[in-house]
Amino acid sequence: MPDRTTPARVMIVEDSIVVRTLLTHIINDDPRLTVAGAFATAEEAIAAMPVVQPDVISMDIRLPGIDGLEATRRIMADRPTPIVVISASMDGGAMGNSMDALRAGALSVVEKPVGLGDAAYSRVAQEIRVQLKIMSDVAVVRRRLRAAPVLPVPPTRQRAPTMLLIAASTGGPPALARLFAALPADLPIPVLLVQHMGASFMTGFASWLDSVVPQKVAIAGHGEMPRPGMVHVAPGDAHLTVSRSGTMLVHHDAPVAGQRPSATRLIESGASALDGAAMAVVLTGMGEDGAPGVQALLAAGGQAVAEDASTSVVYGMPAAAQRMGALSLPLDLIAPHIRRVLERAR
């Protein structure tokens, strides 16, 4: 774990001198952070890695020469370091590259600052500082998922799930892509998903996920009936729950433990509205969102799985869910477990 009696060292990789200056100002305004180096190209940044030795990297995606996606791949292969992607655009191409950077090992995506006079500047600047500080403490390593024996599903008195309720935060997009890729396109039950991410990124995230997994993926709509084989994503800055009639509810109640959307609210609705006929899956993420919901769902006769520490980028949310009684499994064993549970329910 880095020595946090000194500020975290941030490397900025950004081709625009205006944005580099803005990021330098934003970062140095936080006593917990310091700019250790700022580079206009990925080539310069990669060459400087042994000297700068950053604790965290602020990475632009659209760079001259080697782009941010390829730079992320190379850094994670040769010198694994926490990377926060700074994205200027929510359009399909830029969002797809940002999500692919997450799959390559980057930890989160935040908006690029526009300028001091922009109405959203203070919010964006604070989010950048928070993400860089949090991610600087994440121990990033080269991960090779070890094969594990297939575990039988023990007989239980738990109710057969009629919905999958999935939650993820830091490291979530690549984990979700891997999980859904191992599940059938014609999944017999619907999926409701909470992914912690900036509100402005959610539509692009859903579009990207739809392009890389066999199931259909869309932003959840208030009052809509969830469909089997479809992944319904909580909108940005809104809670997603399920009603007694089985429809999805999108609402803007206060954040729960600082989170909106809240995984806890989603999973708790599975306990109350579905009488426990749901399975919760809690993947990698910081904090403890989802854990109280897992406790309520299990008490109602539902089922819950948490990603094991061996595959989690950040073992916060899954650890809290496991403490509440969720079954702990490595990422690659979660989909087989879901399939066996659903086959047994038939």
Confidence label for 250 from pLDDT (cuts 50, 70 and 90): very high
- Kindly list the structural domains of the chain, giving each domain's residue range(s) and its CATH number in brackets, ordered by start: 8-136 (3.40.50.2300), 164-345 (3.40.50.180)
Residues 304 and 298: beta-carbon distance below 8 Å: yes
Please give the pLDDT value at position 90. Answer: 58
**Active-site residue flag, 196:** yes
Q: Known catalytic residue: 253? A: no
The per-residue pLDDT for range 178-194, each reduced to its tens digit, is 999 999 999 999 999 99
* C-alpha to C-alpha distance for 79 and 140, rounded to whole angstroms: 10
Contact 187, 213 (CB under 8 A): no
Neighbouring residues of 162: CB distance < 8 A, sequence distance ≥ 6: 189, 274, 277, 278
d(CA 71, CA 12): 13
Residue type, 306: A
Q: Give CA 213 to chain center in angstroms.
A: 16
Burial of 68 (0-12, 13-18, 19+ CB in 10 A): buried
Q: Residue 92 pLDDT more than 60?
A: no
Q: What is the arithmetic mean of pLDDT over 86-93?
A: 66
pLDDT number for residue 23: 96
Residue 57 has a pLDDT of 97
Amino acid 147: pLDDT: 40
Sign of CA dihedral 83, 93, 203, 104: negative
pLDDT of residue 146: 43
Answer whether residue 1 shows pLDDT above 60: no
Residue 333 has pLDDT above 70, yes or no: yes
pLDDT, average across residues 306-331: 94
Higher pLDDT, 346 or 343: 343
In this prediction, residue 145 carries a pLDDT of 40
Residues recorded for the chain = 346
pLDDT per residue over 229-243, tens digit each? 999 999 999 999 999
Q: Give pLDDT tens digits for 261-276.
A: 999 999 999 999 999 9
Residues 6+ apart with CB under 8 A from 126: none
Q: Look at the alpha carbons of 41, 81, 332, 190 in this order and tell me if their dihedral is positive or negative.
A: negative
pLDDT in tens, 37-66: 999 999 999 999 999 999 999 999 889 999
What's the Cα-to-Cα distance from 173 to each of 51, 53, 118, 133, 170, rounded to whole Å?
A: 31, 27, 29, 20, 8
Please tell me the distance from the alpha carbon of residue 60 to that of residue 71, in angstroms, as a whole number: 10
pTM: 0.84
Mean pLDDT of the chain: 90
State yes or no: is 337 an active-site residue.
Answer: no
SS3 state of residue 259: strand
What tokens appear for 137 in the block? 């403490």
Q: What's the confidence (pLDDT) of residue 137?
A: 86
**Percentage of residues in the chain having pLDDT higher than 90:** 74
Confidence of residue 91 (pLDDT cuts 50, 70, 90): low
Selected catalytic residue, list 169, 262, 269, 328: 169
The pLDDT assigned to 98 comes to 83
Q: Is 70 exceeded by the pLDDT of residue 4?
A: no
- Residue 232 three-state SS: strand
Beta-carbon contacts of 335 under 8 Å, excluding residues fewer than 6 positions away, are 179, 182, 183
Among the listed residues 30, 58, 100, 196, the single catalytic one is 196
CA–CA distance, 195 with 204 (Å, rounded to integer):
13
> Which tens digit of pLDDT belongs to each residue from 144-175?
444 444 444 444 467 899 999 999 998 899 99
What's the confidence (pLDDT) of residue 68?
92
